[in-house]
Structure 1
Amino acid sequence: MILTIAYAALALVLILLCADATSMYLAQKQVEAVADGAAVAAAEGVASATGEDTVAVRLDDDAVRRAASLFVHDNGGGAALVSGTAPDSTSARVTVASTWHPPVITLFVPQGVTLRATATSRTALE
Structure 2
Amino acid sequence: MRAHVRRALHRGARGGADDDGSVLLLTLGYGILAIAVVLVCTAATSLYLAQKDLDAVADAAALAAADGFELTVSADGAVAALSDDDVEREARAMIAEIGGDAGLVSATSPDGASARVTVTGTWHPPVVTMFVPDGVRLEATATSRTALR
Say yes or no: does 1:62 pair with 2:85.
Answer: yes
Say yes or no: does 1:35 pair with 2:58.
Answer: yes
Distance of 1:106 and 1:98 partners within structure 2: 21
TM-score, length basis structure 1? 0.95
Distance of 1:26 and 1:101 partners within structure 2: 12
Q: Where does the alignment leave 5 or more consecutive residues of structure 1 unmatched? A: none
Give the C-alpha shift of residue 72 in structure 1: 0.5
Give the C-alpha shift of residue 106 in structure 1: 4.8
Which residue of structure 2 lines up, in the alignment, with residue 114 of structure 1? 137
Q: Larger RCO: Structure 1 or Structure 2 (Cα < 8 Å, ≥ 6 residues apart)?
A: 1
Say which of 119, 128, 132 aligns to 1:96.
119
Give the C-alpha shift of residue 48 in structure 1: 1.1
Give the C-alpha shift of residue 52 in structure 1: 3.6
Query: Which one has the bigger helix percentage?
Result: 2
Distance of 2:129 and 2:80 partners within structure 1: 48
| Identity within the alignment, % | 53
Q: Where does the alignment leave 5 or more consecutive residues of structure 2 unmatched? A: 1-23
- Summarize deviations over 1:39-82 as a string: whole Å, max 9, x none: 00000111111124511111011100000010001010210110
Say which of 59, 67, 71 aligns to 1:48.
71
Task: Specify whether residues 106 and 65 from structure 1 end up closer, same or farther in structure 2 by C-alpha distance, changes over 3 A only.
Answer: farther
Distance of 2:103 and 2:126 partners within structure 1: 21
Matched pairs, number: 125
SS of alignment partner, residue 115 of structure 1:
strand
Which residue of structure 2 lines up, in the alignment, with residue 7 of structure 1? 30
Instruction: Report the aligned-residue RMSD.
Output: 1.1
Give the C-alpha shift of residue 105 in structure 1: 2.1
Larger radius of gyration: 2
Give the C-alpha shift of residue 25 in structure 1: 0.2
Distance of 1:114 and 1:54 partners within structure 2: 45
